[in-house]
């Protein structure tokens, strides 16, 4: 009787599969493919001898590979990847360093490696590697993370990669995301609000001081304003004054947003993508969404991302253990920070940092590794047990 009761209880327990999360991801991918074709068809037609679907085909191929990778990762117990945490950190460092002698330059930035004829961006690999490594490290530290030494150690670990991304690849946005992922994962494991308030105030104060110094240098007529980032800060503060330079892309994006109105001009009817916004299918794709689909379309996209983050939070709260919860929180931090930064840049809320919109912007490496992260989240979700009451 005891055995029969035990088997009955086991039969009433089922694995959890988050189909809502799957639907949201597939919707964003499908919508992204439509928008990539809409924003890139004109420029692709000019660049690739009339092949208006060139960018679309490349993105479709990367998305297909990413979906396969997502399903494979989702069906592997997530603790399997814990043994590769240190390897992920080391590989991230090595790939970033390889950019110095072997990197491929595009649009004025040296951020890619050409591996077997495929262009790979090490920054995207570093984000995933950082999530795995920090989740493993925090779990191994246990209660030691609540002490000052443990707290500072976790903050120090991502700094070398963040600095390399900033200095070697000139990719400040990815450096910010790597540090943001670490801070969010640390906050979940050690919710000491006082420390994070102090950390936030220091960050805000440092940013304000940098902006103040650059403005004062510009007013004094100094030639060196901290390189192109200093010029971007000045263009952020007064884009009209730099309309022919660093403020050009920002202004064109704002024109696109403003001209879209409430309901937009209609899918495919954007005027700003016709050579006015450089590489509209990349960082500035949200401005084209606003122009073609209006405020309604923009809010709909934002709501989908909010729903995605909500599903992440539910999975993290119900994860079987801390390692699983931290993996989900890391993926949540990556996507949430990137969405916020992209929309903030497009709307000129912050200086232009050059960052893509997850699942929607053109970029094969980005969509591939984002889908691998979704696979990890689904794997954690499958570890949740539901009782059939």
Give dist(CA 149, CA 159) in Å, integer: 16
Give dist(CA 361, CA 207) in Å, integer: 27
Domain boundaries, the chain: 82-191
Instruction: Give pLDDT, residue 171.
Output: 87
pLDDT in tens, the chain (389 residues): 344 444 444 444 456 678 899 999 999 999 999 999 999 999 999 888 888 999 999 999 999 999 999 999 999 999 999 999 999 999 999 999 999 998 887 766 788 888 777 788 999 999 999 999 999 999 998 888 888 888 899 999 999 999 999 989 888 899 999 999 999 999 988 877 888 888 889 999 998 898 888 877 776 666 555 566 677 888 888 888 887 778 888 899 999 999 999 999 999 899 999 888 888 898 999 999 999 999 999 999 999 999 999 999 999 999 999 999 999 999 999 999 999 999 999 999 988 887 899 999 998 899 999 999 999 999 999 988 765 33
């Amino acid at each position: 009787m005891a055995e029969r009761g035990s088997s009955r209880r086991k039969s009433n327990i089922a694995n959890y599969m988050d189909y809502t999360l799957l639907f949201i991801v597939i919707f964003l991918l499908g919508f992204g493919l439509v928008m990539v074709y809409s924003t890139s068809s004109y420029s692709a037609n000019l660049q690739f001898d009339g092949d208006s679907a060139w960018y679309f085909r490349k993105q479709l191929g990367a998305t297909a590979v990413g979906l396969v990778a997502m399903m494979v990762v989702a069906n592997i117990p997530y603790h399997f990847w814990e043994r590769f945490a240190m390897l992920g950190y080391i590989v991230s460092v090595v790939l970033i360093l390889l950019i110095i002698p072997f990197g491929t330059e595009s649009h004025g930035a040296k951020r890619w490696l050409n591996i077997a004829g495929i262009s790979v961006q090490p920054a995207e690999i570093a984000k995933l590697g950082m999530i795995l490594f920090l989740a493993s490290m925090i779990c191994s530290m246990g209660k030691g993370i609540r002490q000052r030494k443990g707290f500072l150690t976790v903050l120090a670990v991502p700094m070398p990669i963040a600095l390399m991304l900033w200095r070697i690849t000139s990719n400040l946005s990815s450096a910010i995301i790597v540090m943001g992922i670490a801070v969010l994962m640390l906050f979940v494991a050690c919710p000491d609000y006082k420390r994070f308030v102090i950390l936030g105030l220091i960050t805000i104060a440092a940013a304000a001081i940098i902006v103040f110094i650059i403005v004062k240098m510009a007013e004094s007529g100094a030639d060196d304003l901290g390189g192109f980032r200093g010029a971007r800060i000045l263009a952020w503060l007064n884009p009209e004054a730099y309309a022919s330079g660093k403020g050009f892309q920002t202004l064109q994006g704002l024109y696109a947003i403003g001209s879209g109105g409430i309901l937009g001009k209609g899918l495919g009817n954007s005027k700003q993508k016709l050579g006015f916004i450089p590489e509209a299918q990349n960082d500035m794709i949200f401005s084209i969404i606003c122009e073609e689909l209006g405020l309604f379309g923009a809010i709909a996209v934002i709501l989908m991302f909010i729903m995605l983050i909500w599903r992440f939070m539910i999975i993290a709260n119900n994860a079987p253990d801390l390692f699983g919860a931290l993996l989900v929180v890391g993926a949540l931090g990556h996507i949430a920070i990137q969405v916020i930064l992209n929309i903030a840049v497009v709307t000129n809320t912050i200086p232009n940092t050059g960052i893509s919109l997850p699942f929607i912007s053109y970029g094969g490496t980005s969509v591939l590794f984002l889908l691998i992260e979704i696979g990890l989240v689904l794997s954690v979700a499958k570890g949740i047990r539901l009782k059939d009451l």
